[in-house]
Amino acid sequence: MQKPASLFANYAIPQGVLDESFSDYPTTYTGYGQVRSAFGGMDVQDFHLLNESAKLSFLNQGITYAVYSEEGGGTEKVFPFDLFPRVISSQEWANLERGLLQRNRALNLFLGDVYGKKRILKDKVVPEEIVNSSAHYVKAMEGFKPAGRIYTHISGTDLVRHTDGNFYVLEDNLRNPSGVSYVLSNRQAMRRTLYEMFNHTKVEDVSDYPNMLLRTLESVSPQKGEPRCVLLTPGQFNSAYYEHSLLAQRMGIDLVQGTDLFVEDDTVYLKTIYGRQRVDVIYRRIDDAFLDPEMFRPDSMLGVPGLMRAYGKGRVTIVNAPGTGIADDKAICAFVPDMIKYYLGEDPIIDNVKTYICSRPDELKYVLEHLSELVVKPVDMSGGYGVMICDGLSQQELADLAEQIKADPRNFIAQPKIMLSTHATFIKEEKGFVPRHIDLRTFTLMGDGVTQVLKGGLTRVALKKGSLIVNSSQGGGSKDTWVIAANEGGDVSPVEEQRGLNEQGQRNFQGQTTVSTPQQQI
């Protein structure tokens, strides 16, 4: 009987790329061989059954995302999920954690300074015109100090691994960072589908995130005792509504819309069947512009009239604070290493990807002269929208882009093309695993005396061959991210006699198959 083809039979690492599941690099996880063997011991049909089981689990849980078209319509799709986990050693994660905490401390100090004494602007470390021209600068925050002096309670930092093996910060997400629900759901799907692997591998838990988040919210309540926290959502048609409902449910707090709240005597109340009940902390998942029609957009139907008055009087805490979006601005993100040195007197533990700020004449000149070598991004768009990878553009497209940049240089930054690391990913059409580019969104929580990083994150995968755009809105998927527990010792125990890989226990396999490393074309 002919032996079934290995799931890695067609695996070939693209030239000039570091592959986390096969390449050797200074911080490579030493136990990847056993993880590869576990998957290499399956044939295509068996793995396809597991994959479909995981997909069905996502469908039954309603784990979807919306893809919006240029015409304005949205399509709901099941979030693509790959079963081969990305694994990060405890030692490397400890360094990343230190770097993320350092970065977020500096960003929080920056926001307090910019809306306060503006020392960093007066000392010309960060250009004042870049801050003042940000679309997300909120003048009402000037002079206001939120509870615990925390502005960035929840942050999502996007990291990429380059060919040198090191992680670099691509951007910060401080307004309404999303994606943590997929971290939780990915882990749940993995435990259901490949549960025996967790009996042999000590992976840091991520399921406590809702409790971590709740403790963070409660720590910044304007009144102690038993503060009432709510999650403010735009409603069920929002692309991240699944996440809103999941987090509210697991924290045990109310999921509310603007019409459920009202302000009286500069205090926020929730309408309930038992009468009004005071609200102390609002975890908002709507943008600043829609928070309060009295302060921002008067046509907003999503916010709460008078909310900013109550906030200004210190009667309620808004998470994240209004105005944090200036630190999301990709032009300002370029100055975070300078903020770290200025506020903390330290060198950055995690470096930024090199960024050219087009509003600076000398950097604009460089960008226009080297446009075909760069990646150009709008400063305030997310989801991968507006990103132009210029080596794939025609001469006419490059000329058109250059005119757009010259017409509004403040709206653009440029970066070198970073060859994101790849990872083995199952592609049905390829009948096995092939390399696909990945990044990592991490989640940091900062409260009053409560600061921590989720030990794991959302590994996003560009499912299209050669694509560097990992966002789900652009056709990307995700993987479970395994941070190995510190007492694991750096190695995954051999996965032996792994039984019942799907809920039906359809087959047994022994993860002892040796998978030869494919020829790395570097």
221-251 confidence digits (pLDDT tens): 998 889 999 999 999 988 889 899 999 999 9
Domain with residue 242: its CATH number is 3.40.50.11290
The label of the residue with tokens 């690391």 reads 421
Shared domain check, 400 and 514 = no
Q: Is 31 in the same domain as 131?
A: yes
Residue 352 has pLDDT above 70, yes or no: yes
More confident residue, 74 or 374: 374
Nearest to 291 by CA among 310, 314, 315: 310
The mean per-residue pLDDT over the stretch 322-340 comes to 95
pLDDT at 83: 92
* Stretch among 135-144, 206-215, 419-428, 501-510 having the lowest mean pLDDT: 501-510
Residue type, 340: I
Q: Which domain holds residue 274?
A: 223-315
Amino acid 239: pLDDT: 82
- Predicted pLDDT of residue 469: 84
- Given a cut of 70, whether residue 330 has pLDDT beyond it is yes
Domain-located, residue 213: no
Range with top average pLDDT, 47-51, 338-342, 514-518: 338-342
For residue 431, pLDDT beyond 90: no
Maximum pairwise Cα distance, the chain: 80
Does residue 425 have a pLDDT over 50? yes
Mean pLDDT of the chain: 87
Count of structural domains, the chain: 3
- pLDDT (mean) for 261-280: 96
Are residues 520 and 444 located together in one domain of the fold? yes
The answer as to whether 421 is a domain residue is: no
| CA gap 214, 489 in Å, rounded | 32
pLDDT > 80? residue 75:
no
| 195 within a domain of the structure (yes/no) | yes
CATH at 384: 3.30.1490.270
Question: 476 or 17: whose pLDDT is higher?
Answer: 17
pLDDT at 447 over 60: yes
Tens of pLDDT along 105-121? 999 999 999 999 999 99
321, part of any domain: no
- Which phi and psi (to 5°) does residue 269 adopt? -125, 150
The tokens describing 254, both together, are 């109310």
Task: Compute the Cα dihedral for 209, 215, 218, 219 and give only its sign.
Answer: negative
Residue 216 lies in a domain: no
pLDDT of 508 reads 27
Q: What is the pLDDT of residue 488?
A: 56
What does the block give as tokens for 458? 């959302």
What local confidence, expressed as pLDDT, does residue 191 receive? 86
Judge if 103 and 51 occupy the same domain.
yes
b vs e for 414-430, b when ≥16 Cβ sit within 10 Å of the residue's Cβ? Answer: bbeebbbbbbbbbbeee
Q: What is the pTM of this model?
A: 0.89
Contact assessment for residue 309 and residue 144, using Cβ atoms and an 8 Å cutoff = no
pLDDT of residue 449 exceeding 60, the answer is: yes
Instruction: Please check whether residue 215 lies inside any domain of the structure.
Output: no
pLDDT band at 384, cuts 50/70/90? low
* Contact assessment for residue 305 and residue 296, using Cβ atoms and an 8 Å cutoff: no
Is residue 302 a contact partner of residue 287, using CB atoms and an 8 Å limit? Answer: no
Q: What is the pLDDT of residue 204?
A: 95
Statement to judge: residues 33 and 164 lie in one domain: yes
Residues 517 and 408 in one domain: no
The pLDDT value recorded for residue 286 is: 96
Are 372 and 463 part of one and the same domain?
Answer: no
Residue 511 has pLDDT above 60, yes or no: no
Domain-ending residue, one of 315, 340, 375: 315
| Whether residue 312 has pLDDT greater than 50 | yes
Q: What is the pLDDT of residue 60?
A: 74
Dig out the tokens for 410 from the structure: 């403040």
Tokens of 167: 């992680």
Can you give the pLDDT at residue 44?
A: 81
User: Mind spelling out the 3-state secondary structure of 258-286?
Assistant: HHHEEEECCEEEECCCCCCEECCEEEECC
Q: Would the pLDDT of 497 be above 50?
A: no
What secondary structure letter does DSSP report for 4?
P
> Is there a single domain that holds both residue 20 and residue 124?
yes
Per-residue pLDDT at 428: 83
Rounded Cα distance, 441 and 464, in Å: 19
Predicted local distance difference test score (pLDDT) of residue 512 = 28
**Hey, how many other C-beta atoms are within 10 angstroms of the C-beta on 439?**
24
Highest mean pLDDT, choosing among 170-184, 207-221, 471-485: 207-221
Residues 164 and 187 in one domain: yes
What is the band of 503 on the pLDDT scale with cuts at 50, 70, 90?
very low
Q: Mean pLDDT lowest for which of 256-260, 312-316, 339-343, 460-464?
A: 460-464
Q: Tell me, what's the pLDDT at 466?
A: 87
The reported pLDDT for the residue numbered 31 is: 86
Rounded to 5 degrees, φ, ψ at 478 are -150, 165
| Statement to judge: residues 304 and 386 lie in one domain | no
- Span 501-517, average pLDDT: 31
Question: Which of 315, 341, 368 corresponds to the end of one domain?
Answer: 315
DSSP state of 85: E
Instruction: With respect to residue 211, please indicate whether it lies within any of the assigned structural domains.
Output: no
Please indicate, yes or no, if residue 393 is contained in any of the structural domains: yes
Q: Are residues 101 and 236 in the same domain?
A: no
The pLDDT value given to residue 520:
31
On the question of pLDDT at 5 being above 80, the answer is no
Residue 256 has pLDDT above 60, yes or no: yes
Task: Give the pLDDT of residue 303.
Answer: 96
Per-residue pLDDT tens digits for 137-163: 999 999 999 999 999 999 999 999 999
Q: Tell me, yes or no, whether 371 and 491 share the same domain.
A: no
Q: What is the predicted pLDDT for the residue at 380?
A: 82
Segment 453-481 mean pLDDT: 88
- The share of the chain scoring above pLDDT 90, in percent, equals 66
